[in-house]
Amino acid sequence: MLKKIQHIKKLGVFDDFSWDSEVKNKGGAVQNFVDINIIYGRNYSGKTTLSRIARALETRTLSDKYGAPSFQLKFADNSDVTLAALTTHDKNIRVFNEDFIRDNLRFITNPDDSIEPFAILGDDNNKIEKEIEALEEELGSSIEGQETGLFADKKQAAVAYSNAFASHKQSNESLEKQLGDKATNKDIGIKYKPERFGDQNYTITKLKADITTVSSPDFQPLTSEQVSEHEKLIDEKVLPAIPKFSSPQLSFLSLALEVETLVTKPISESDKIQALVKDAVLNRWVNEGRSHHRNKHEKCAFCDNEISTERWAELDKHFDEESEQLEKSIDALLAKIETENQTIQSALTIDQSAFYSKFHSQLTALNLRLKAATKDYQLALGNLTKQLKARKGDILNVKDYENPADCTAKLTQIWQDYSDLCAQSELFSSSLADEQTKAKADLRLKEVAEYLLTIDYQAQLNSIETLRQKRDEAQQAQAIINTNITQKQAQVTAKKRELNDEEKGAKKVNEYLNNFFGHQFLTLEAKKDEGPTQEAKRIRFEVIRDGKKAYHLSEGECSLLAFCYFLAKLDDVATKDSNPIIWIDDPISSLDGNHIFFIYSLLNAEVVEKGKFAQLFVSTHNLDFLKYLRMLNGKYIDPAGSGKLKSYQKDFFVVIRQGKFSTIQSMPDYLKKYITEFNYLFHQIYKCANVESVNDANFNSFYNFANNARKFFEIYLYYKYPDQTSDEDKLKLFFGDEKIPAVLVDRINNEFSHLKGCFESGSIPIDVPEMQTAARQIIDRLKQDNEQFSSLMRSVGEAVEVETV
């Protein structure tokens, strides 16, 4: 059932129509379509446009002359049909409008053309009917809630597929949410930690790309140490340039050669005091004593004996210039060794803070090597010093030279390695941003890998895949059943075509023309065009008058024929028993009053009373036809009510054109409630007679009473007393022996309706008690004709008063 036309945009006279904001009842609630819907609108207000939207559902296409329109129809099952869904919807609808007439009754525009034929089931086809019956039994019932056969299987398969689809969707959406949270959630999302993971525009798409990376067998996550290094790296700032280091020139080899020369250098033995030669300590003591006594003491400070000139000569010969020169050379070489030692000691101090954390581990190792090598070099220098000091202490005696290990190459390599690290650090300054980006990417991949373990990603993937397979299997099972149903339905259709009888379609139209309209001058006949084969023969309908093809039909005849054709077509093979939505647009064009009533009678008898529809729409511009349409009533068997009869719901709508554009509204009471103005006038008098307390809401009943009463009596008394009696006499006849009411009503009618000769009445308030008294007298008099009064009460929706005896 069509619930409402949600919106219409840029389609005909509907520019931007919205149902929920415009179609509302008196209480302000949205008024939806019901079982039977009567639509009134003046010509050019948009009724045909609405019917064309409905016909677009039937033909599955809309004229491309509308430009770029859009519309949305909402149905009771919460499904929608839009312009884009015209070819895919499953709604069953039949529309009568001028497009239907043009497409099916082409003879109206081209007298030499024919009417599109349709078929009704033929006779004497018992065998085929039994085959059809068997197929339909296998298909079963498709009625909602009462499915049997293949349709029951279809419903079960649909439920199974729906459940499988929902399970797969729920599981998939759950995983997607977890991934989405990890990508963009403010609490745990990678997007909101760019300082660590490096991408403030991170998305779930990028996360899935990272998942592909970490899921590769070649992926190796960072170790704890690597994580620590990466964290330090991403905190790095560009460091100032490292002071340039120049490695000193080492002289170990030359020093060693000099030491060897001095240690092994012999001293001449002539004129030597043998006692001193043999005792190096004594020799050193004596030599030091010389410096203490020369030119200072004539006597020995130790033994107090005089030191003779001869003794000084002996000592000077013993401590000659050669030995003194050797000792000086040794002292000079010791100084050079000490200088070399100081150079080595201060040559290089490694400051890790000047380097990026990336190089700290290498610097630590290099510093250990540097200290070890420096110590070895200093030990070697100490060995040379020791040998020199030993020779100096025994200057007269040659010593054996001991060659220490040379660590020059080791120190030189360490200094070179340090220089290389300095160069690398300088180079790293220019690539720091790239290195930090790579470090953040590595940390992000580790974060992703750990998150996958946390949410048990692979297990969820496996579960989703299993559910997907179940969904696909359920979908395949559903497709198989649907295909089976389609094939069975095609077989039924094919077999029904074997029963087709186009001539019966023509006879059905003729039956309507004769029985409802008494039109015996026009008939339809089924003609068969000969073809080369039996299958090539084509049936066509022709309009016949007096045994000949009819030409020059009047507009009224065309309207009658077209509507009879449409109703007969509801019994064709494609439509019979399908209970479609029926939309009928203004079927009374160019018809007189009698034929308008016949159209209503045919519609009521053949459609409404027989329940051939799921929902009915009838639109008109004709107030006479609207009057009849108010009387449309019918009942249907309620499947939910154990087969009880239930009345169709009926409601009224109007299409109103406002300037260039139109809208749909709930029909106001003055059009919907009153069959004629006479009924309305009666209702206003009845309301005036029964007002208990006068207030601003009902005071208009008294101000309008004179006009309402005058017009009511003009209609009522004309039909009750259709002779030439005067209005005053007719009032007296109406009230009978009670003359006062007649006089009172006549006065009110004249003075308060026209203010004739009593202008001052218009300058004072209405006398409410006088009006209500007259109204009650009229109602009391009408009650005397109980049948008519009860009918009038029912016509205006008031409860019929039951007189108590």
Alpha carbons 61 and 245: distance in angstroms, whole number = 87
pLDDT at position 4: 95
- On the CB side of 83, CA atoms within 13 Å amount to 15
Alpha carbons 264 and 282: distance in angstroms, whole number = 21
Write the burial class of residue 393 (CB in 10 Å: 0-12 exposed, 13-18 middle, 19+ buried): middle
Q: How far is CA 667 from the centre of its chain?
A: 37
Residue that wins the pLDDT comparison between 516 and 24: 24
Segments in 502-655 forming alpha helices (H): 502-517, 555-569, 593-603, 623-629
pLDDT at position 535: 44
Q: What percent of the chain has pLDDT over 90?
A: 30
pLDDT at position 475: 94
pLDDT greater than 90 at residue 616: yes
Mean per-residue pLDDT, 383-391: 90
Residue 284: strand, helix, or coil: helix
pLDDT at position 778: 84
pLDDT greater than 90 at residue 94: yes
Mean per-residue pLDDT, 336-357: 88
pLDDT at position 456: 93
pLDDT, tens digit, for every residue of 692-734? 777 766 777 777 777 788 788 778 887 788 876 776 777 777 7
pLDDT, tens digit, for every residue of 476-496? 999 999 999 999 998 888 777
Are the C-beta atoms of 622 and 596 separated by less than 8 Å?
yes
Mean per-residue pLDDT, 599-621: 91
Write the burial class of residue 71 (CB in 10 Å: 0-12 exposed, 13-18 middle, 19+ buried): buried
Alpha carbons 617 and 34: distance in angstroms, whole number = 9
Are the C-beta atoms of 326 and 262 separated by less than 8 Å?
yes
CA angle 254-258-259, nearest 5°?
115
Mean per-residue pLDDT, 208-212: 92
CA neighbor of 365 nearest in space, from 418, 409, 313: 418
Alpha carbons 619 and 41: distance in angstroms, whole number = 8
pLDDT at position 246: 85
Average pLDDT, the chain: 82
346 falls in which pLDDT band (50, 70, 90)? confident
- What's the sign of the alpha-carbon dihedral 126, 130, 136, 140? positive
pLDDT, tens digit, for every residue of 620-669? 988 888 888 888 888 877 766 666 788 899 999 999 988 889 999 998 87
Are the C-beta atoms of 507 and 123 separated by less than 8 Å?
no
Q: Give whole-number Cα distances, 333 to 122, 127, 254, 283, 791, in Å.
A: 138, 136, 11, 22, 147
pLDDT greater than 60 at residue 530: no
How many Cβ atoms sit within 10 Å of the Cβ of residue 60? 12
Residue that wins the pLDDT comparison between 300 and 498: 300
Report helix angle 786-795 to 768-782, nearest 10: 120
Continuous segment of H or E residues that includes residue 635: strand 635-637
Tokens for 628? Answer: 């009849």
pLDDT greater than 60 at residue 804: no
pLDDT greater than 90 at residue 168: yes
Mean per-residue pLDDT, 579-607: 85
- At position 515, the amino acid (one-letter code) is N
278 falls in which pLDDT band (50, 70, 90)? low
From 149-158, 672-681, 765-774, the region with the lowest mean pLDDT: 765-774
Number of H helices, E strands in the chain: 30, 17
pLDDT at position 743: 57
Mean per-residue pLDDT, 439-453: 89
pLDDT, tens digit, for every residue of 59-86? 999 988 888 999 999 999 999 999 999 9
Write the burial class of residue 32 (CB in 10 Å: 0-12 exposed, 13-18 middle, 19+ buried): middle
pLDDT at position 805: 39
pLDDT at position 36: 94
533 falls in which pLDDT band (50, 70, 90)? very low
Q: Considering the entire predicted model, what is its pTM? A: 0.48
pLDDT greater than 50 at residue 517: yes
From 170-174, 191-195, 332-336, 426-430, the region with the lowest mean pLDDT: 426-430
Residue 721: strand, helix, or coil: coil
CA neighbor of 285 nearest in space, from 133, 403, 395: 395
Mean per-residue pLDDT, 759-785: 70
pLDDT, tens digit, for every residue of 553-564? 778 778 888 888
Residue that wins the pLDDT comparison between 718 and 213: 213
Residue that wins the pLDDT comparison between 721 and 499: 721
Q: List % helix, strand, coil for the chain (3-state, nearest 5).
A: 55, 10, 30
Are the C-beta atoms of 602 and 563 separated by less than 8 Å?
yes
